[in-house]
Amino acid sequence: MISRLAVASALAVATAAAAGPVAAEQPPVVTVSVVPDQDPFYAPPPDLDSLGNGQVVAGREINTTLPVPVRAWQVSYRTNDSHGNAELGITTLLVPTAPWTGAGTRPAVSEQIPEDSTGTRCAPSYGIGTGTLQSGDQIGAMLAEGWAVAVPDFEGPKSAFLTGPQSGHAILDGVRAAGGFTPAGLGRDTRWALDGYSGGAAATGWAAELQPTYAPELAFAGAAIGGVPASLPTVMANVDGGMFSGFLVGVLVSYQREFPEARIDELLNERGRADTAAAADLCVIELLIRYPFWRLAAATADRYRDDTRLTEALQRNSLGAHAPAMPILNYQSDADEVVPVAQADDLVAAWRRGGTTVVTIRDPQGEHAQEASQRQATAQQFLREWLTVGGPVIDADLNRPVGQGQGQ
């Protein structure tokens, strides 16, 4: 005999079939309100080591306040620190809601925001999610082109400022993750470019240098970098004792985290240890306001005044050892008071010797921060030409400038 339960189950199945398939429930769109250190989304899974580079761990759609209508997701993925140890990366994927009407598939840019900070509350993902990001103009302009934009937290979970290999890994694995995150609609045939200024340019440069060996399956149309701190010993010596010495304090904090084997903490005296401890969770403006005219010599123990370990660590994280395979736009003001232009010229020369096509612009006037806004449209023009036309309007072999300015 058929039980009442069996009859009821059969009726339920028949009713559901008649009504048609049930739509899958959409996950809620998250309003970000918790800082990364307290947000479970930023916690690495126990099996992170077993995942491949760039493999997606999780994703969630978030609310944003950007000027262009977009869908936005935070995506976590496996990447590697400077020593090849697994760590959790986060990138924010922004895709315009308007359909792409250009040729081929929608292009995408990995935009490296100059975080220049020592705390995860300063991470781009948190700034975009909470609407507090201060560098949104460039992102908005790219979204207005119809491009997708990925904004990686390239300083990683340790908020490691100017740590070259770690930042390059985070960017490249973020692009891999974007291609593997189905809801965003990007795939293997997406045309990618890179963009970054200042600290974001250093990270972009590292991604460009590492790409042929670390992520050879990825192809990039080009990269625009401006105000790039290429030679870190040169740049840190330039800011030491000046208005921008907070950058040096941030590097000391970050290098103790990312490179404990360098034993940089041993170099510091009591003041140096106290200052770096107090700087352990500061955003860039806070670093600059708290530590103007800070001198490394005053924070270094007497017996270590001639120690070279910090210089050697900075040199290992400098650019120029490997030539990128992608074309590069490098722009900078000759009057840059933070990042000396000569060390950027040396980087261009090294990359060109290695076979990289580099177009340069050198503006005779303009402070470091001014150059970023002054050349924003120029950088976008360069990326547009390579993303949508497949090559520059200018003749790169003649090193003519893009837009206005002096070509080198």
- What H or E segment, with its residue span, contains residue 148? strand 148-152
pLDDT tens sequence across 247-274: 999 999 999 999 999 999 999 999 999 9
Q: b or e along 50-60 (b: 16 or more beta carbons within 10 Å of the residue's beta carbon)?
A: ebebbebbbbb
The DSSP symbol for 36 reads G
What local confidence, expressed as pLDDT, does residue 392 receive? 62
Handedness of CA 76, 251, 326, 387 (dihedral sign): positive
What local confidence, expressed as pLDDT, does residue 135 receive? 65
What is the Cα–Cα distance from 378 to 385, expressed in whole angstroms?
A: 11
User: Would you mind telling me the total number of residues written for the chain in this entry?
Assistant: 408
What is the Cα–Cα distance from 269 to 353, expressed in whole angstroms?
A: 42
- What H or E segment, with its residue span, contains residue 206? helix 199-214
Q: Of 78, 162, 169, which Cα lies nearest the Cα of 114?
A: 162
Helices and strands of the chain, counted as H and E runs = 13, 9
What local confidence, expressed as pLDDT, does residue 404 receive? 36
Three-state secondary structure call for residue 166: helix
pLDDT along the chain (408 residues), means of 10: 36 39 69 94 98 98 93 98 98 97 94 97 96 82 96 98 98 97 92 97 98 97 98 98 98 98 96 98 98 97 92 98 97 97 97 96 95 94 88 47 38
Residue with tokens 């490098």: 330
What local confidence, expressed as pLDDT, does residue 397 receive? 38
What local confidence, expressed as pLDDT, does residue 391 receive? 65
What local confidence, expressed as pLDDT, does residue 278 receive? 98
List of residues 6+ apart from 182 with CB closer than 8 A: none
List of residues 6+ apart from 54 with CB closer than 8 A: 77, 78, 79, 172, 173, 174, 175, 176, 177, 180, 215
What is the Cα–Cα distance from 373 to 91, expressed in whole angstroms?
A: 24
Cβ count within 10 A of residue 37: 14
Q: Of 42, 70, 73, which Cα lies nearest the Cα of 180?
A: 73
pLDDT tens sequence across 273-283: 999 999 999 99
Amino acid, res. 206? W
- Statement: 232-315 belongs to CATH 1.10.260.130: yes
- What H or E segment, with its residue span, contains residue 92? strand 86-96
Identify the CATH assignment for 36-229+323-398 out of 3.40.190.10, 3.30.43.10, 3.40.50.300, 3.40.50.1820: 3.40.50.1820
Map out the domains of the chain as residue ranges. 36-229+323-398, 232-315
Residue with tokens 């806070």: 286
CA 353 to chain CA centroid, nearest Å: 26
